[in-house]
Every structure is written in C-alpha cells, then in structure tokens.
Structure 1
Amino acid sequence: MLTALRRRAAMARFNWICRDVLKTPPLQIKPARLRIVSMVSGADHLMYLLAIKSFYRHLLGGEIVIMDDGTLTERHRALFRRHLGSPRFVRMDSIATAACPKGGCWERLLYILDLSRDSYVIQLDSDMLATGPIPEVLEAIRENRAFTLNTGSDQVISSLEDVASAARLPPSGPPHIQVLAERSLPHLPAGMGRRYVRGSAGFAGFACNDTNRQAVEAFSTAMQGLTGPRWAEWGTEQVASNYLVANSPGGVALPWPRYSCFFGDNPDEALASAAMLHFLGTWRWHEGTYLRLAKQVIAEMTRSTYVQPAVYMPRETARRVSA
C-alpha cells in the first residue's frame, strides 16, 4: 500500500512539473512509409506525449498510431489530436491474437506485425525519452533493418545455445518466464531461426516484411510446447520481439549506452551522451533523473531549437526481406 501511494505521488509530481509539455508546439505530421505505435494508458497521457514528441522531432515523417488500453477518454483523444495531428486510434481489445497468448502486450506486437506488411514500424513505450540525435535508428529505417533497444553492454545477437547458457536459473524457486524461455530456445524445431538477443521491447523497430506475423505465430506455438502454460505469463511478448529482431536479416541491437534502459547506475557521462533512454518501472523516479531530463527536453522543444536531420525517408523500393 505504501509503495503504491509513493508511486502515485511520484506520478502526480511528474505530471505537475512536466505539464509544460502542453506548451510545446504541435507536431507537423508528414507522410512516410513509417508508423510509430504505442500502447497508451490514460494515467500516462502526459508521459506518452513527452515520449512521442521528443522522438518525432528527430524524424521527417511517419504516422502516429495510439493503441488504447481501454482507459483513454475523449478528453485524452482530443488532447492527442491537438498535439499530434490526426493520430490513428486502435482499441487494444479489438486485436485478435490467434495462436498467441492474450494480454501481456501480445495484441500490440501482433498489430505492429500486421502493419509491417507495408511499412516500417517502430514500437515506442510511453516511458521512453529521446534526448539526442538518433542516426542509428534513421539508418535502420532507411535500410529496412529491424532493431531493438539494448539492455546492457554485453547484450549482442547470439546463437540460441549461447543465450541458453547465459540464462541463469535462480538458486531457489521457479525461474522468471523470460529465463525459462531463453533456456528452452535451443530446443526450437529445426529450420527455425537460430539467433536471439536480450533486448527490450520498450523501443524496437520492425522491417517492412509480409511474413513477420507468421514467423512470430510459429515461434509462439513452438515455445508454448516447450514451456507449457507459463507461456501465457507477462514477459513472453518481449521474448518474441527479441527473437524476431535477432532473426530479421540485418537486425541489430542498438549501441549501448546511447540507447539503454535506466537502472539507476548509469554513469553521468553515459547519460550525457544518451540518445534514447527507457525509464521503466520504479527506476523512472530514481534520484530525479527522468524528471531532470524531461524538463530539459521540454525546454528544447518549447524553444524549437532542434534542427531536424537530413532526409532519411525509407526508400520507395524498400527491399522485402524474409523473417
């Protein structure tokens, strides 16, 4: 109860101090073969507005898609329309998951893969913050290569055997589903992709490819056979996202620490040189780092001092790749 009260108090303080994001200029939405998808909660509407506006300022175009988790009101939608042009709204509960689990962000991933049949798609969590130029992301979009946010300096795309060996079981009690899944990866059926990366689904890019959904459905079916009913637990969608990126031709883990999760121990020099940071869970309130950087980004956007990058638009003849 005390933890929940502290979390609500921290969020209220964040919303109060960061309300100046509402004073930043509306985005100028331009067409491109790119979609930016986020699952948004009403409680996080200002946080999301900061995430998408801080990120979109580095782009030259793309459609914004908002997945409503069921808590957005018409007031939230009107606010987003005022700041984000004409975003597309999609109800999360309208997405069929077929052979994959329900909940746990699976609807978001599957919807993104449906969109990736005819455009590049980026998944952006509401607690992401773009603090600097993102040339590696622009290059991935231009070259139609998948990417994922990194979770540490030693996380690289590896063989399934190496990943399973590195996944450590806890000394007692059942392992987290991600650990159990990663230890099961070498037992995937022959012919399936043999690579994986321990990335974060909080920020990931998916190449334009009309076989993405079939690939992840096949992966989910195989993993359910290996892990049983636990495959329905929260965390399996991230495993699937990591697997899909790693096995997408040219897929990359973005360089750490320029693109990283904030765990409270990030060196000051790493924060100063960061391009994208993921302030997940309770770490977003650690020592005021998120709030300090958020205020800095809001000030930059209010002054409109950031110069957009050179043209990066995805090629009209984006190569179609196989999963």
Structure 2
Amino acid sequence: MFNTAPVTAGTDQPVAVLTQLQHKDLTMFLVAIKTFANKVPLAKIFIINDGSLTAADQALLRSHLPIADIHDRTQFSVAGCPSGGCWERLLAIADFVKDYFVIQLDSDTLTLTDMPEVNECIATNTGFVIGTWDNQEIESMTVSSERVQKNNAPTMDSHVQMLAESRFINLDDCENLRYVRGCAGFSGFPKASFDKQFIVDFSRKIEKEIGAKWHQWGSEQVMSNVVVANLDKSMVLPHPKYTDCGRMKIPGTCFVHFIGECRFKTSRYADLAKNAIQALLG
C-alpha cells in the first residue's frame, strides 16, 4: 500500500470524502480511500482526528493524500447533540456539505470494481446509503417504527438503534418524515442538501423519548440514516452489489463494508485488499 501512488484531485467538481480516523486504522484507511478514489474522482478529503493520530501519522497521511485536510473532532461538538460515538463526524459533514458533495467512508471498507451508481448520484446531486437487504427502499418513518415495535418490542435495555426506531412513532412530525435502516459507514450527502439544525432538533426530540440512552454508541448511525432518508433526493444502493462482509457475492459485489470483527476472522479481507493493492500498482 505504501508504494501506491498518492490520491490527487481527480475532478474539479466539489466532491469530498470524509472519515473519522484513529491511529490503529491508518493503514486500513489508506487501502479504503485509495481503492475508492480509483473509481470515484475526488477533489478533497476531510479527516477527522479522533485524538489518537500522531504527528507522524498526520505526516504520512499528507504524503499519501495531498488533497486531505485534517481536523480535530472537538471542533465539531454542538450543544443539543451527544459527543463521541462518531457524532462529531456527522456534525462535520453538516459543515462541509455546504460546499461539497460529502461521502462518509469508513476505514473498514474496500472498493472492488466500478461503482456507476455512486458516480450517478454525484452527477445528479442525489444522496445514498449502503443498505441492509435486497430491494430495500427508503420508507415512511411511521411504517419503519411500527415494524420495529411489532417485531422486537424494544425496552430500555435494548440496543439504542432499536429503541430509538421504536420511539419514532411518538414524534409529532413522524408522519412527515422518512427513514432507512442503512449504514453510516458509507453514505453520500449532496452539496447544500441539509442543515445542521435539522440534526440538533431531531436529536433533542429523540433524547426526550429515550433519555441518556441516546448518548450510547450507535445513536449517530440512527441520526445519519434519518438525515439521508429525508434529503430531497436519496436512494439505497443496490444490495448485495454494495454490502457488508456477511452478504457479499463475489464477483457481483463492488463495495464491501467489513463491519465488526469479520475482517479478522477469516483471510477474506486480507486477500481482497491484497488484490486491490496489486491492481493499484498496475
């Protein structure tokens, strides 16, 4: 990976990748961003330092990603929203989306082949999110909330995502909103598509419903899904063409999110990453 070419500007259009990065994921992020930028031309990369990136890390990133700007996550904290748990990442997107089509890209991802759907979304200023099942669509928040209540009957001991989704139905504007059970690890936010105040207002409403639970890990993904679902134009990327490691179907899958521990349990991530790096080297 360290012998591959740096990522330089591939377009004069305002297209950016944003990620929140920690020291231990630096090499994986270089694989993720270089394989992605090989298929989707970028003008800018925003890296949100979680606080663990060293001076040497940042120097390495700048040498491989000369179009990258590195910011400290603390500068994006906002009253009315949780802190930590990647919330500053989403709030940073809300800042940069004023000027860029911003794509949130996690370190534990790999781009394997061309991604025409993503490039089309950029061309048409359409939001996107990686989905969870085949033929998934963005739906009414009311429908989504009622399904969660029926299938899981979440309690205060449930995962924050389940609990929050089940309480959507209590919001006074639920019938006018939409939702998608996607993944914040790969989502696209068109230029000038939403305002930070939308996040703050929604966060406060849900916190009134579930209290301190809203500050647990996983709430930021719920919020990200809410934002994507309520853009003027957005879509769920076709699944399993875009999928997680448990559902990928090679060679049909073009993009994989290696969630949790799956990249370490087998050699699949290492093998695919090795092949991708060889392709970058030509």
Same fold by TM-score, threshold 0.5 exceeded? yes
- TM-score, length of structure 2 as denominator length: 0.93
| Correspondences of 1:48-67 after superposition (within 5 Å) | 48-67=29-48
Question: Over residues 189-217 of structure 1, what are the superposed CA-to-partner deviations in whole Å (9 max), with x where a residue is unaligned?
Answer: 23774210000000001111264211111
The answer on 1:190 being equivalent to 2:173 is yes
Q: Is 2:253 the partner of 1:302?
A: no
Partner of 1:203: 186
State the 1:242 CA deviation: 0.5
Name the CA distance, whole Å, in 1 between partners of 2:79 and 2:15.
Answer: 25
The 5-angstrom pairing of residues 147-162 of structure 1 reads 147-153=128-134, 155-162=136-143
Which residue number corresponds to residue 18 of structure 1? none
- Note if contact 1:97-1:106 (Cα within 8 Å) is conserved in structure 2: no
| TM-score, normalization by structure 1 | 0.82
CA deviation string 1:130-167 (max 9, x = no partner) = 01111111111111111111122264211122212332
Change (3 A) 1:171 1:230: closer
Count of aligned pairs: 279
Which residue number in structure 2 is paired with residue 130 of structure 1? 111
Return the index of the structure with the highest Cα Rg.
1
User: 2:226 aligned with 1:243, yes or no?
Assistant: yes
Q: Would the alpha carbon gap of residues 209 and 86 (structure 1) be closer, same or farther in structure 2, given more than 3 Å must change?
A: closer
Asked if structure 2 preserves the Cα contact closer than 8 Å seen for 1:32 and 1:63, the reply is: no
The CA distance in 2 between the partners of 1:95 and 1:192, in whole Å, is: 30
The gaps in structure 2 that reach 5 residues or longer are none
Displacement of 1:98 in angstroms is 1.9
Q: Which of residues 110, 116, 119 is equivalent to 2:100?
A: 119
**Paired residues of 1:51 and 1:128 also in contact (CA < 8 A):** yes
Cα distance, 1:23–1:170 mapped onto 2, change above 3 Å: farther
Give the aligned partner of residue 90 of structure 2.
109
Q: Distance in 1 between matches of 2:147 and 2:135?
A: 11
Q: Which residue of the other structure, out of 255, 258, 261, is the alignment partner of 1:276?
A: 255
CA offset digits 1:92-122 (Å, max 9, x no partner): 1222222111111110101101111122111
Percent identity between matched residues is 35
The RMSD of aligned alpha carbons is: 1.8
Tell me the equivalent position of 1:23. Answer: 3
Q: Is the 8 A contact 1:38 1:66 kept in 2?
A: yes
Matched residues in 2 for 1:198 and 1:171: separation? 16
* Matched residue, 1:218: 201
* 2:123 counterpart letter in structure 1: R
Q: For the structure 1 residues 176 and 248, does the alpha-carbon distance in structure 2 shift closer, same or farther, using more than 3 Å as the test?
A: same
Counterpart CA distance in 1 for 2:175 and 2:27 is 41
Contact kept, 8 Å, 2:39 with 2:115, in 1: the verdict is yes
In structure 2, the partner of 1:253 is: 236
For the 8 Å contact 2:17–2:42, the answer to whether it is kept is: no
